[in-house]
Structure 1
């Protein structure tokens, strides 16, 4: 069936959605071979965003509310891929993803809400498989650099060493710039939901929550300070590890467990060597415990929501976004002790500047490069749905780099 648009950006009047629209306009224009449109619940606000970005009136504006199933069905029928930045997804996302799954329209989001994703996988897999829709969660900073970093390193291991890596350590070396307000709002919504539902709390603690029917080996406890022998550095907990780890294991499962049924993945922050590194690691672990305890307290969440989170339309300045960057080291080890290291770098702040490029290029990768023989309808991760094709596209267009680095001689 003919689709009018390659991409529809749903939620274009929000801060992150506006950045996605700006990226598409700056990179591809409105007559550059990519047919796209902005969508949201207010035509007036959409017009304001279009005008403020200097986009001509030839860019279509589509109106639909996140709660109006009929309007959403009409909306998604027009697109090859829908990008949505409207979260928390557990509160605002179900009607749109349902519409895409039933219409055969590909879908990408910025979801870092594993409880909601665990509920959506069995709900959407059947309709998406029948319609041909590729539903791809977590196409922002959580979890593309980590998910694809592991896929890239494993592929290099197969080529260079002839065997997969049975364990991989993802280690955040540099992260300049914060997480988005949407990420924080999703975290708070998830904690509130977990407080009402003990089963959800168990899901959040389970590294295999997104691999129904498969239970892998015991995974590392990444909540405390620890010295990493592979990295030769002290490490502390990384706030996004609970979602990234689940996506890595789902990618492995969707690919048919090519890295072995006993594959282990750990994700942490590097804090340095010596006494200073140990102190920083312990402080990070302590601060994480305190923050988690405070976020578990209802009045604290209310204060954070009111005073700490960016309000609608707010976020870091362009200068702040452009000055941000991140660097993640991936260290893998084979069953016989050989190691391989890779580095993934991004050139903007993770929460906004890089994320808008990641999701935009993920959508175009689905629309233009990934056919349904390769990736049929279903619920996917970026690493399983697009893999090295997306790695290449991100290196060419989105300011990311993936490379093998400083690898000691193998024995």
Structure 2
């Protein structure tokens, strides 16, 4: 993790209040709020994927954003994020997640870590380290019974730092394109609720692989891009 990102995480927790701990804190006021929010806690075997999974360090943030996106687009589904991997990798990620949660929850520990342990802003992984940080995502839509309805696979061979820059740039270009076409909306939006298919096509053109399979209707159909 780069120094700037680490310090940003600390700054966010310093400014958050108790109401921000609500997993549905980003939902519009008129959106339905389930009584509980599903979350991945500890090491878990996902039977639909046949893989070990564990909590992701970014899940608290990502889940809130996706839930807001779903609400803005009129979807009623929930969203849970996890990482998958070998037993050692998943256990290690789980321990790291809970250690981070404990440190961030205690103000004096949080400030001590920020002042003494975090790398300075502007520093981060070397180029060779970044080159080994590609990513792959598997989004699975299920019904209430757990039946898999759809899968979306997203991957990129570039490192996550380069990929983040690409997503930010393509969001900006999507905004310019839609403003020129007169289709740009307004409000406190998320990228996909604001730019939709325009952004999807742009990131595909930039080299991000997005494949979808409608499992409930096509069974073993070949993914389409």
Query: Shorter chain as normaliser: what TM range?
Result: 0.7 to 0.9
Partner of 1:18: none
**What's the counterpart of residue 21 of structure 2?**
204
Deviation sequence 1:156-211 (CA, Å, 0-9, x none)? xxxxxxxxxxxxxxxxxxxxxxx4433322221222234xxxxx233223235333
| 1:269 and 2:83 correspond | yes
Residue aligning to 1:394: 203
Alpha-carbon separation, structure 2, partners of 1:380 and 1:402: 22
- Which blocks of at least 5 consecutive residues in structure 1 are unaligned? 1-178, 195-199
Q: Distance in 1 between matches of 2:209 and 2:198?
A: 14
Which TM-score applies when normalising by structure 2? Answer: 0.81
Residues 374 and 216 of structure 1, relative CA distance in 2, 3 Å threshold: farther
CA contact (8 A) 2:141 2:149 kept: yes
Q: Per the alignment, do residues 406 and 253 of structure 1 end up closer, same or farther by CA in structure 2, a change over 3 Å counting?
A: closer
Note the C-alpha offset of 1:280.
4.9
TM-score by length of 1: 0.47
Measured against aligned partners, the alpha-carbon deviations of 1:143-162 in whole angstroms (never above 9, x if no partner) come to xxxxxxxxxxxxxxxxxxxx
Q: Distance in 2 between matches of 1:183 and 1:249?
A: 23
**Counterpart in the other structure of 1:72:** none
Q: Deviations over 1:331-387 (max 9, x none)?
A: 11246734322211123332x222112111210111124557533222110010011
Pick the aligned partner of 1:404 from 207, 212, 219.
212
Does the 8 Å contact 2:4/2:121 carry over to 1?
Answer: no
Q: Which has the larger radius of gyration?
A: 1
| Alpha-carbon separation, structure 1, partners of 2:180 and 2:193 | 13
CA distance in 1, matches of 2:90, 2:78: 22
Aligned 1:2-401 pairs, distance under 5 A? 179-194=1-16, 200-217=17-34, 218-255=36-73, 257=74, 259=75, 261=76, 263-272=77-86, 277=87, 280-334=89-143, 337-350=147-160, 352-370=161-179, 373-397=182-206, 399-401=207-209
Determine the structure 1 residue equivalent to 2:223. none
Q: SS of the residue aligned with 2:29?
A: coil
Q: Which runs of 5+ in 2 are unaligned?
A: 221-225
Distance 1:370 1:243, change over 3 A: farther
Give CA deviations for 1:256-280 in whole Å, capped at 9, x if unaligned: x1x3x3x1211011134xxxx3x65
Query: How many pairs were matched up?
Result: 217
CA, structure 1 residues 254+306, in 2 after alignment: closer, same or farther (shift >3 Å)? same
Greater share of strand: 1
The CA deviation string for residues 5-35 of structure 1, in whole angstroms up to 9 with x for no partner, is xxxxxxxxxxxxxxxxxxxxxxxxxxxxxxx
